[in-house]
Structure 1
Amino acid sequence: MKKWLRWISMILLVAILGVVIAFEVSPKPGTKLIQFAFNREVPIGDSGKFEQAKETVNVIKNERYDSPYARNTFDVYYPKNLKKTEQVPVVFWLHGGGYLAGDKSLVNEFAHYVAEKEQIAMISANYELAPELKYPGQVKQLEDVYQYVRKHAADYPYLDLTKVAFGGDSAGAQIAGQFVLIQTNPDYAKQMNMTATVPKNELKAFISYSGPVDLQQLKTLPATNLFMKFFARTVAWDLLGDKEWKSHPAIDEASIAQHVTTDFPPTYITDGNTLSFPEQGKALDQALKAKNVSVESLFFDEHQEDIYHEYQFSYDLAEAQQALDETLIFLRDYVK
């Protein structure tokens, strides 16, 4: 009996060591776990309001934009019953998913509410994911989306491209924020070997939902935060192609809060308080205020309940409804 138990123990030990080694030599095991967690449908949070919104919103799905990168499609949400020559502002949005997963359809409910309530169009775009596409390919791909829509404006006559905003959730917020930096900080654009393509007077706002907008903070996560350390390590390894990601210059380069100028547009920031990036959101909030940029934010430091990452799309939560209401007012004030 003891010999049998000893063999079982040895087998378990070998299996555990095998798993540990697998996670050490390659990001792939962690990548698969993260993709499994993020590749999911987001249920409709408020079915009554959503069904009402669907009656007043047109949706064009799977438009293809010119790009050397894969997953180059976008959806357009815009109000129905516009007059023949009427145009509405547009928000370009990138989905979350840890740079490794996710889809443009994840913002379906949110995009309907923006189009219905504020008469603002939304373009929700896909982009090629890591590890297949390394940094900063996703930022360049957002430029491809914008340039395509601008070049083919005649195909979207209801879009007022003189009033545009950019935003995203989770990873999408960081990508969109970096794109906005390139539009508003000439030195940063030069550093990125990119040029501004959005006219300054047409860029009206930026929105960050649960965004990692000060990535340098990931280098100093406390040892007790095991999940976030695992998540950061896996994603950064995949996105940068470098296991020693903490010393990679891209981490500081991609930290939005460290590069904003007085020309950064009015910004709305929100995040939960659990398994997310609230301290990064607060860093951006403080950096913008220091530059006298208009910024509005919603955080939950003192909230007694856990408010999780990407909470803002769970419209069965009062907190998500609050974020939506504030976002709509923000868009009304700065984009329209």
Structure 2
Amino acid sequence: MKFSLEPHVEVKAVLDDIMRQQSFDIDFDNLDTFRANWNQLVLAGIQQPTPYDEQVRATDRLIPADHPGGHIRLRIYSPATITEPVPALYWIHGGGLIIGIPEQDEGFLKSVVATLGCVVVAVDYRLAPEHPYPAALEDCYDGLLWVAAHAKELGIDAARLAIGGNSAGAGLAAATTLLARDKNGPALIHQSLAYPMLDYRSITHSSYEITDLGIWDRDINQRAWNAYLGSLSAAGAGLPYYAAPAVASDLSGLPPAFMAVGSLDLFRDEDIQYAQQLMAAGVSTELYFQAGVPHCFDLAAETNVVKKYLQARIQALGAAFMYN
């Protein structure tokens, strides 16, 4: 299948401006410095007021974890008032498995809470290469188990629990969903996956095609996967599908999915293939495809293209909450 690589003019102009202010060229030799600068920008950004601040409260919770760090941080976004149990979205942030914190999605997550009247719980998981697979997945799954077990305390209806994320977070959400299915864990009702990072092999056409856009290209993607997989990088066919959901052969029994990707995203083909595999397995799947946009296109939040996409994504999540 051939796709046009013509960029969407409106989105390109905004992303070009963002990239002039913030480099996405991750220095793997100085990850600590890059992370510190990234986190500083994120935390400065959330000090800016949003239209949802009076409707949503954000709190941090440390939960016990069976690893040397001793805990996992959850950032919980709740309606200012909860009078009865509400549905919840368990959220996993992106960052290529090597950078990122939950706060980087705060604007979107607050809008979800305000629009749908739900709770959002975002997990702060361990990052590679210091903590290779399965550390991040273990943290994500343990956080999900804790949320399900403490649903009443959080004001959550445990029967209406969805999962979602962007990029690497969406890939981890897909993996966590597979793990929950296989372990008879929390019964998730919906997967909300934006441009998920699913396939370590870099064998699709788009993974060779997208090499120099400057947001998330082939080289940095391969280096990030190698950082995450560590010694498993050479495992080949023996790699667990929890590490890279694209290699899973059985996607049956998974919850309905909303997936989004753009034509200029190197994950384009692996995401379309995963959506098709979900459909073939009998999983109700909505694939939102946007021509002319790259990875992380929703950074251009004020464009009509992104507003339309976010509306579709929130509507899909709202429908899952309503009819379950």
Both proteins in one fold, TM over 0.5: yes
Structure 2 spans left out of the alignment, 5+ residues: 1-26
Residue of structure 1 in register with 2:24 after alignment? none
From 260, 264, 268, the equivalent of 2:254 is 264
Query: Which position in structure 2 is the counterpart of 1:15?
Result: none
Q: Which secondary structure does the structure 1 equivalent of 2:100 belong to?
A: coil
Structure 2 length-normalised TM: 0.78
- Structure 1 residues 244-296: Cα deviation after superposition (integer angstroms, max 9, x where no partner): 54837337653324424331111011123335412121111111111221111
User: 1:254 pairs with 223, 238, 243, which one?
Assistant: 243
Q: Are residues 255 and 131 of structure 1, via their aligned partners in 2, closer, same or farther at CA, if it must alter by over 3 Å?
A: closer
Per-residue deviation at 1:308? 2.7
- The alpha-carbon distance between structure 1 residues 146 and 116, as it changes in their structure 2 partners (threshold 3 A), is same
Question: What is the rounded CA distance, in whole Å, between the counterparts of 1:100 and 1:72 in structure 2?
Answer: 17
Counterpart Cα distance in 2 of 1:205 and 1:175: 14
Seen in structure 2, the aligned counterparts of structure 1 residues 116 and 243 have a Cα distance that, compared at 3 Å, is closer
Answer yes or no: is 1:283 the counterpart of 2:277.
no
Contact preservation (8 Å) 1:257, 1:287: no
* Change over 3 Å in CA distance of 1:223–1:206 after alignment to 2: closer
Matched, 1:203 2:188: yes
Counterpart of 2:7? none
Q: Partner residue of 1:113? A: 111
Partner of residue 22, structure 2: none
Question: In structure 2, do the counterparts of structure 1 residues 37 and 294 end up closer, same or farther at CA, with 3 Å as the change threshold?
Answer: farther
Q: 1:150 to 1:310 in 2, by over 3 A?
A: same
Q: Which runs of 5+ in 1 are unaligned?
A: 1-26, 187-194
What is the percentage of aligned positions where both structures have the same residue? 20
Residue of 273, 287, 295 corresponding to 2:285: 295
Greater mean deviation of Cα atoms: 317-326 or 50-59: 50-59
CA distance in 2, matches of 1:123, 1:271: 24
Deviations 1:143-189 (A, max 9, x none): 21122223334532x111111111111111111111101223x4xxx
Could you say which structure has the higher helix fraction?
1
Alignment: residue pair count = 287
Matched, 1:335 2:321: yes
Secondary structure of 2:201's counterpart equals helix
Pairwise CA distance, 1:54:
1.5
- Looking at structure 1, the residues matched to 217 and 133 of structure 2 have their Cα atoms a distance apart, in angstroms, of 20
Matched residue, 1:179: 176
Cα pair distance change 1:254/1:169, threshold 3 Å:
same
Q: Which has the larger radius of gyration?
A: 1
SS at match of 1:271: strand
1:63 to 61, 64, 68: 61
- 1:239 and 2:200 aligned: no
Q: What does residue 21 of structure 1 align with?
A: none
Match of 1:159 among 153, 156, 167: 156
- Contact 2:191/2:258 (<8 A) preserved: yes
Q: Which runs of 4+ in 1 moved over 6 A?
A: 42-45
Provide the C-alpha distance between the structure 1 equivalents of 2:43 and 2:188, rounded to a whole number of angstroms.
29
Q: Which amino acid aligns with 1:141?
A: D
Contact 2:93 2:101 in 1 (8 A): yes
**For residues 57 and 111 of structure 2, what CA distance do their matches in structure 1 show?**
12
**2:121 corresponds to 1:92:** no
In 1, distance between residues paired with 2:157 and 2:44? Answer: 31
Aligned with 2:42: secondary structure? Answer: coil
Using the TM superposition, give the Cα deviation of residue 120 of structure 1 relative to its aligned residue in structure 2, in angstroms. Answer: 1.5
- Give the Cα separation in 2 of the matches to 1:223 and 1:33: 30
CA contact (8 A) 1:34 1:100 kept: no
Call closer, same or farther: CA 1:32–1:276 in 2, change over 3 Å: farther
Report the counterpart of residue 17 of structure 2 in structure 1: none
Q: Is 1:319 aligned with 2:320? A: no
TM-score, normalised relative to structure 1: 0.75
